[in-house]
Chains A and B, each alone.
Chain A
Amino acid sequence: MKSYPYQNPSRATWAEDYSFLNNDINNEDGQAFNKSYLKVKDLNLYIHKAHILKNVNLEIPDKKVTCIIGPSGCGKSTLLKTFNRLIDDTEGIKYEGSILVDDTDIFDKKTEITDIRKKMGLLSQRPCPLPMSIYDNIAFGCKMHGERNRKKLNQIVEEQLKAVGLWEEVKNRLNSPASKLSIGQQQRLCLARGLAVEPEFILADEATSALDPISSKHIEELFVKLKQDYTIILVTHTLRQALRIADHVIFMYLGEVIEAGPADEIFNNPKQELTRKYLEGAFS
C-alpha cells in the first residue's frame, strides 16, 4: 500500500500527543451512521452569477464529528453558513434545493430563521465574544429566549462554563469583560455561549486556526467530548486535525462534494483520484 505523508511514521508523533483523545477513528461501530439529522438535497447556491455550490447532496451523521475539508475557496465555509442561513445576508444570494433538519426544510417559508440558528451553535474562525461581561456572554442567549430567572441563569452559566472547562479559570471574575480573556479562553467562552441556547449542532468554521497549539488541543478535546450530545460539523484546513478527530469526512473541490464517507475510508482508501491527490498534498 502506498504511504501517504500523514501516515508517515516520522510524522506520526501527533498520535502520541493526542493519545489523550483515546478515541480512535477506526473503532466506530458504524451503526450510528445510518441515522442522520441533517440532509442536504440537490443544493445549488449562486451569488450574483457565480455558481458557488454545485449540486450538493449530503447526509451528516448524528452525534459525530464531521469534517469538511478541501482547498481554499472550494465552498466549505459557504456550505457551513448555509446550514444556519447566515449566508442570507450576502448580496445577490440565490439557492435551490433543500436542507432538511429533523425533516424540516430550512429554506421553507414557514420555517423561522431564528429557530434554525438556535439549533446550530456557531464557532467562528476568530473568537468573537460579545461586548459584555463573561457572565452576560453566556446569559445573553438565554435571556433573549425568555429565561429571566436569576437562579436558573446562574446555573446555566456555571454548567456551560464547566462544560468547556473554563469555570475554574473564571469563576472569580464573571463580571469582568470577556475581551480580557486570552484568545483560547475566548474561543471556549464562545463555545459555551453557543451551548447555552441548547443547540443540536455545533458548526465550527476553522475554529482553531487562530489559536495557539495548546488552545487548539483544548478545543479539539472538547469536540470529541461534546459529540456525545451534539452533532459537530467542522470546516478545517488542517488535514491532521481532521485525521485526529473526524468520524466522517466530506471532501469538497470547486463547489462540489467530491467524496464523503467515514473518516477511515476516506483517509485510507479514497475512491476518487482528486481526494487522493489532495490528501497527498499535491494541491491545497
Chain B
Amino acid sequence: MRLKFIEEKIAKGFMIIASLAVFAFVVNIIYTIFRRGIPALNWAMISQIPAGGYYNGGGGGILNAIVGSLYIVLGSTILGLLISIPVVFYLNVYLKKDSRLAYIARLAFDVLFGIPSIVYGAFAFTIMIYLGMHTSLGGGILVITLLIIPIFIRSMDEVAQQLPKDLLDSTYALGATKLETIKVVLRQIAPGIATATLLSVGRAIGDAAGVMFTAGFTDSIPTSLNQPAATLPLSVFFQLSSPNADVQDRAYSAALILIFIVLVISILGRLITNYFSKHKI
C-alpha cells in the first residue's frame, strides 16, 4: 500500500479516537449527574424555597435559585440584545469594510470576550459600592449583561460580516436609508442572533463567579430589582460544600435542573432559529 493511504488511515484513526473521547466525556458527566441527582430529585426541590436548615439536610427546595437564575438570564439577555444589535448594525452597515474604528472595536470585543467572569464581578462590585448599591438582582443582571455582550457582539458580527454586499445595495436601490435596511439585515442574520443568544444564555445561566459578589444569595425569591437573588450555580456550590452526603446529592439534582433548563432553551432556540431563517437567502 502506498504511504499516503497509510497516512490517511492513521489520521482517520486519530479523528475517531478524539471524537470518541469527547463523547465519552459528555456521557460520563451526564451519567454522574443522573446517578447522584435522580434519587435526590423530588417535586419539593423545584416547587419550594429552602426551609430552615436546608443546607444541613432540612426540607424545602431550590425554587429560589431556579427563579433567580431565570430572572437574571432573561433580564441580561434582553438588555444584552438591546445593546449589541445596534453595535453590530453600526459596525457592519454604517462603517466601511476597512474602517479603523471597526477594527479597534472588534479587537476590544475580543479582549472583553476573554476576561474571566470573576473580573467582571469584581469590577461591577466596585461600581456598586461607589453607587451605594447592595448585592441585588439588578446588580446580577448588570454584571451578566456585561459578561455576555462580547459573546453576543462577536458571534453576531461573524454572521453579519458575511452579509452580501448585493443585498444591502439592492435595499439601498429601493430608496432605503441605512436605518431602513435594518429589517433586511436582521432577517438575514437571524440565525446568527439565535446562535449568539444560545451561547449567551448558556454562559449566563452557568456563571457563578460574576453573580457571587453582585447578586448575592438568599433563600427567598426576589420581588424587586433591589433584593438579592439566588442562582443555580451558587446553589450547587453551597450544597456541594456541605459535609452531609444527602445535601451533596441534592447539588447534583440542582445541576440536573440547570442542564435541563439549558436543554429546553437550546431546543426552543433551534425551533425559533429555523422559523426565522427560512427566508435567509
A203 surroundings in chain B (CB, below 8 A): 173
The verdict on B114 contacting chain A, using a C-beta distance below 8 Å, is: no
> A82 in the interface, Cβ–Cβ < 8 Å?
no
Q: Does any Cβ of B come within 8 Å of A161's Cβ?
A: no
Q: Tell me the minimal C-beta distance from B213 to chain A in angstroms.
A: 43
Distance in Å from the Cβ of A76 to the closest Cβ of chain B?
Answer: 16
Judge whether B53 is part of the interface by a CB distance below 8 angstroms.
no
How far apart sit A140 and B184, CA to CA, in the bound complex (Å)?
Answer: 9
B173 partner residues in chain A, CB cutoff 8 A: 84, 86, 117, 120-122, 194, 203
A117: chain B residues within 8 A (beta carbon): 172-176
What is the total number of residues of chain A having a CB less than 8 Å from a CB of chain B?
Answer: 32
Contact B177 A128 (CB under 8 A): no
The tally of residues in B whose CB lies under 8 Å from a CB in A reads 24
Q: Does B98 contact A (CB under 8 A)?
A: yes
Q: Is the CB of B174 within 8 A of A179?
A: no
Contact A131 B281 (CB under 8 A): yes
Which residues in B have their C-beta under 8 angstroms from that of A177? Answer: 278-279
B166: which of A128, A133, A179 is its contact (CB, 8 Å)?
A128
Residues of B within 8 A of A84 (CB): 172-173
Contact B281 A141 (CB under 8 A): no
Asked if B110 is at the interface of the complex by the 8 Å CB criterion, the answer is no
Q: Which residue of B lies closest to A88 (CB)?
A: B172
Cα–Cα, bound, A89→B166 (Å): 12
The 0/1 profile, CB within 8 Å of A marked 1, for residues 183-199 of chain B is 11001100000000000
Is B158 interfacial (CB-CB < 8 Å)? no
Question: Is there a chain B Cβ closer than 8 Å to A261's Cβ?
Answer: no
Contact across chains for A197 and B174 when beta carbons are under 8 A apart? yes
Please measure, in the bound complex, the distance between the C-alpha atom of A114 and the C-alpha atom of B280, giving whole angstroms.
25
* Contact status A130-B184, CB under 8 Å: yes
Select one of B166, B175, B180, B281 contacting A178, CB under 8 A. B281
Question: How many angstroms from the CA of A197 to the CA of B180 in the assembled complex?
Answer: 15
User: In whole angstroms, what is the CA distance A115 to B172 when docked?
Assistant: 11
**Does B175 lie within 8 Å of A130, measured CB to CB?**
no
Shortest CB–CB separation between residue A154 and chain B, in angstroms?
19
Residues B13-51 near A (CB distance < 8 A): none
Which of B97, B180, B280, B281 contacts A91 (CB under 8 A)? B97
Residues of B within 8 A of A178 (CB): 279, 281
Q: Does B96 sit within 8 A of A, measured CB to CB?
A: yes
B170 at the A interface (CB under 8 A)? yes
B167 at the interface (CB under 8 A from A): yes
Indicate if A144 sits at the interface (CB-CB under 8 A): yes
The answer to whether B169 and A118 have CB atoms under 8 Å apart is: no
A47 within 8 A of B: no
Which residues in chain A, 183-199, are within 8 Å of chain B measured between CB atoms? 190, 193-194, 197
Name A197's contact: one of B96, B175, B278, B279 (CB within 8 Å). B175
A91-B98, A144-B180 are contacts. A128–B174 as well, Cβ < 8 Å? Answer: no
Q: Chain A: residues with CB nearer than 8 A to chain B?
A: 84, 86, 89, 91, 114-115, 117-118, 120-122, 124-126, 128-133, 140-141, 144-145, 177-179, 190, 193-194, 197, 203
Give the 4 A-B residue pairs with the shortest CB-CB distance, closest first: A118-B175, A122-B173, A141-B174, A131-B187
Contacts A130-B170, A179-B279, A194-B173 supplied; 4 other A-B pairs, CB < 8 Å = A114-B177, A124-B166, A130-B187, A145-B175
